[in-house]
Amino acid sequence: MSEIEQSIRQFALQNAILHDGKAEAKNVINKVIGKHPEIKKEMGKWVPVINQIVAAVNSLDPSAQRSELEATAPELLVKKESSSEPKLRPLDVEEGQKVVMRLAPFPSGAPHIGNLRSFILNDEYVKRYDGRLFLIYDDTIGSDEKAVLVESYDLIKDAMTWLGIRFHGTYYKSERMEHYYEWGLRLIEAGSAYACFCDSETLRKNREQGIECEHRSMPVEEQLRVWKGMLKGDYREGDVVIRVKTDMRHKNPAFRDRVLFRISEKAHPRVGNKYHVWPLLEMTWAADDYLLGMTHVIRGKDLMMEDEMENLIWQKLGLTPITQFLHFGMLRVEDAKISKSKAYKEVTSGEYIGWDDPRTWSVQSLRARGFVPEAIRHFIIDMGMSLSDITTPAENMYAYNRSIIDPKSPRSTFLPDPVEVIIEGLPAGLTEVRMPVHPEHPEMGTRTLSASDHVLLAKRDFETLQGKEVRLKDFCNVILEGKKASFSSVGNKDLPRITWLNALDDRLVGVKVMMEDGELVSGMGEPNLREMPLPSVVQFERFGFASLSKRDVYGNVQAFYTHK
C-alpha cells in the first residue's frame, strides 16, 4: 500500500468513527488533498481508489475501525470522552508558598479558541493549588495594526465568566503608568537604560554588527534630561525611544538593546491623551510580575525571550526574581482560520453578524454554536503543557462537546431545501407517527409527527436516492420515482433511512441554520421546534447538532450549526 493509500485509509477510519461507522468519501477526499495536494491534478485516478477504500472501511465493525486507527495513526483518533482527571505536570511550589498567576490578554477583539490554552491552564493550576489569579489587561497603546478596542474589555470578561474562570483582582496597564515610569527612571539612573535617537536603518546595522549606539554613552544627567523631556511632550513620535542596555554581542540580535518606552501620539480608548510615553509589554511584565507577586507565569514558547528580558530588568535593578516561567507550544485547530484583526474588520463592516459569527472562532461564537464550557476546558487541559506544537482536528474538540450535549439534546427534523413528493398507494390509516424525543433516553418522552401522502424530503436525499427503495424514518417504505413515490410496505426493513415531514402540516417551522463557514442553509423543521426554549441545543436527525438562537412571530427559527 502506497503512502497516499495509507493516508486515505487512515482518514477514512477517522471519518467513520466520527459518523457512527460510516465514512463519507467527500470528507476523506478533502483531508487527503490537504495532506497530499499533488493528487489534486489526478483526481480522476484517485476518486475510484478512495471510494474503494471507504467502502472497505465501512464494512468493518466500529470497534475494528477504532482498533486499526489506534494502531496506525493514534493522533487522528477522536477521543470519545475526556479523562476524569486530566494530567498536568505539578508546579514547583515551595512549602507554604501561595501560588499567584495572571492572565494578560491584549484587548484587540474577542478572545478566540487559540487564546484559551493560556487562559484555562492558568485557571486550572490556580484552582488546584488554591491560589490567586489576576486579570491584567495588557492595554498599552498598541500599534496601527493591532490597536486597543474599547469593546474588547467586556468581551474578554464575558468570555472568562462563561468559561468559569474566577479572578481575585483586575488591573489595567493603562492605569498603572506611574509604576512603569518609576521603573524606567530607576533604570536610567542606574545607567542601565538610555535614550536612543537612531533611525531604523542605523539601528538595524548596529544590531547586526554588534555596535553600540552613539547615544548609549551619554551621561546619566543627559539621559534623565531627555527622559523628563519625553514625559513633558518635548519630543514627537519617532524622535526618541528608551532602550535597555544589553550585551551587543548577544547571540540573538533581536535581544540587543531592546526598546522599553516609545512615544505615541494616538489617543487611548480608556485614558485618551493623558499619556504619550508608553512602555512596551516586556517593561510592563517585568514591573507587574514583581510588584503583584507572580509566582508562576505560563506563556507560549514563542515568548521565551520575554523571560530573559524580565530577568535582565530585575537584575539591573538589583531585585531577586520571584517568578518561575513555564511554556507550552502552539495549539492549532484544523479548519479554524483565526485572525482577530480580520474578524474585527468583518464584524465592524457588517460582513459578519457580530462576534457570535462562527467565522470569528471567538469564545462568543462557540457559545452561540452550542458549545459548553466543560467541553472546551477538558479539550484544552487534556493537551497538557507540552512544548511541542499541536495541530488537532476540529472534530476532536467537537467530540468533547458531543459527549456532554448529546444526552441532553432533544431530537427533531430539519430538511434543507425541501422537495415535495407524493406517495402513491399509501394506506388510509397512516396519519401520524410517534417517535422518541431521544432514542437512548425514554424518560424524555415521545413526539408525534402528522403524516400524509404528501411528504417533504431533503433535496440531497431526493436527488441521490432516485429509483431506490428507502425507509421514511418511523413511517413507511417507498420507492422514489421522480416527484412521486410508490408505497412498498410499513414494516421496518434494512434500507437507507431518511427524514421527512408532512407537506400538508401547517404547523411546520421555517428554519435557517448558519454553518461554520457563514453559509445560511434554509429549510423546514418539525413543529416541536415551536416549543423549545431559546437558546437551546437540538439534534437535527441526519444533519447535526444546532443551537436555536432566535424565533420570529410566526414561530420560524434561526440557529447556529454546532457540529455532527
Based on the domain organization, do 146 and 272 belong to the same domain? yes
Based on the domain organization, do 157 and 297 belong to the same domain? yes
Other beta carbons within 10 angstroms of residue 199's beta carbon come to: 8
What letters, b where the CB count within 10 A reaches 16 and e where it falls short, cover 211-244? eebebbebeeeebeebbeebbeeebeeeebbbbb
* Region of residue 247 (phi > 0: left; psi between -120 and 50: alpha; otherwise: beta): beta
Based on the domain organization, do 107 and 209 belong to the same domain? yes
Q: What is the pLDDT of residues 470-499, one digit of tens each?
A: 999 999 999 999 999 999 999 999 999 999
DSSP 12-73: HHHHHHHTTT---HHHHHHHHHHH-GGGGGGHHHHHHHHHHHHHHHHTS-HHHHHHHHHHH-
Q: What is the pLDDT of residues 533-551, one digit of tens each?
A: 999 999 999 999 999 999 9
Based on the domain organization, do 127 and 207 belong to the same domain? yes
Based on the domain organization, do 327 and 421 belong to the same domain? no
How many percent of the chain have pLDDT more than 90?
78
Q: How far apart are the first and last CA of the chain?
A: 31
**379 domain-assigned:** no
Q: What is the pLDDT of residue 86?
A: 47
**Nearest-angstrom CA–CA distance, 430 and 434:** 11
**Is the link from the previous residue into 535 a cis peptide, with omega within 30 of 0?**
yes
3-state SS assignment for residue 536? strand
Based on the domain organization, do 273 and 178 belong to the same domain? yes
- The DSSP H or E segment spanning 277 is strand 277-279
Share the mean pLDDT of the chain: 93
Based on the domain organization, do 131 and 252 belong to the same domain? yes
Q: What is the pLDDT of residues 494-515, one digit of tens each?
A: 999 999 999 999 999 999 999 9
Q: What is the pLDDT of residues 66-108, one digit of tens each?
A: 889 988 888 787 544 444 444 688 999 999 999 999 999 999 9
**378 domain-assigned:** no
Based on the domain organization, do 115 and 45 belong to the same domain? no
The mean pLDDT value for 374-402 works out to: 91
Based on the domain organization, do 69 and 111 belong to the same domain? no
Q: What is the pLDDT of residue 87?
A: 65
Q: What is the pLDDT of residue 78?
A: 55
**456 domain-assigned:** yes
* Grid coordinates given for 343: 474578524
Categorize the per-residue pLDDT at 358 as very low, low, confident or very high, splitting at 50, 70 and 90: very high
**91 domain-assigned:** no
CB contact at 8 A, 427 and 396: no
* Grid coordinates given for 51: 471510494
**Nearest-angstrom CA–CA distance, 296 and 125:** 10
* Region of residue 297 (phi > 0: left; psi between -120 and 50: alpha; otherwise: beta): beta
Predicted TM-score of the model (pTM): 0.82
The mean pLDDT value for 3-22 works out to: 87
Based on the domain organization, do 451 and 486 belong to the same domain? yes
**527 domain-assigned:** no
**171 domain-assigned:** yes
The mean pLDDT value for 186-197 works out to: 98
- Domain end position, chosen among 447, 482, 502: 502
Domains contained in the chain, number: 3
The mean pLDDT value for 514-521 works out to: 96
CB contact at 8 A, 156 and 181: no
Q: Give CA 272 to chain center in angstroms.
A: 32
Based on the domain organization, do 13 and 109 belong to the same domain? no
Based on the domain organization, do 176 and 252 belong to the same domain? yes
CATH number for the domain including 417? Answer: 2.40.240.10
Which is higher by pLDDT, 333 or 77?
333
CATH number for the domain including 226? Answer: 3.40.50.620
**Nearest-angstrom CA–CA distance, 427 and 487:** 8
Which residue range forms the structural domain that includes residue 459? 413-502
- Domain end position, chosen among 460, 487, 502: 502
- Domain end position, chosen among 463, 485, 502: 502
Q: What is the pLDDT of residue 153?
A: 97
Q: What is the pLDDT of residues 36-58, one digit of tens each?
A: 878 888 888 899 999 999 999 99
**293 domain-assigned:** yes
**357 domain-assigned:** no
Instruction: Detail the DSSP E strand segments found in 84-189.
Output: 100-103, 132-137, 169-172
